[in-house]
Structure 1
Amino acid sequence: MTRAKIELAYITDPAKRKATFKKRKNGLMKKISEITVLCGIDACAVVYSPDLPNKPEVWPSESEARSVISKFNGVPEAEKRKKMFCQESFLRQRIDKGKEQLKKLKNENRKREINLLMCEYLTHGGNNLDSNNMSYLKDFSFFTDQNLDEIRNKITMLQTQEETPETMDQGEQAQVHVPKTNFSRKIIKKLN
Structure 2
Amino acid sequence: VAYVLAFSRLPGKALLEGLVNLPLVLPPVVVGYLLLLLFGRAGYLGRVLAFVDIRIIFTLAGAVIASAVVGFPLLVRAIRIGMEGIDTNSLQAARTLGASWWDTLLTITLPLSGRAVLAGMTMMFARSLGEFGATIILAGNIPGVTQTIPLAIYEYTSTPGGDRMALNLCLVSIVLSFTVLLLSEAATRTLRSK
Whether TM-score is above 0.5 comes out as no
| More RCO (CA 8 Å, sep 6+) | 2
- TM-score, reference length from structure 1: 0.23
* Greater Rg over alpha carbons, structure: 1
Between structures 1 and 2, the one with greater helix share: 2
- TM-score, reference length from structure 2: 0.23
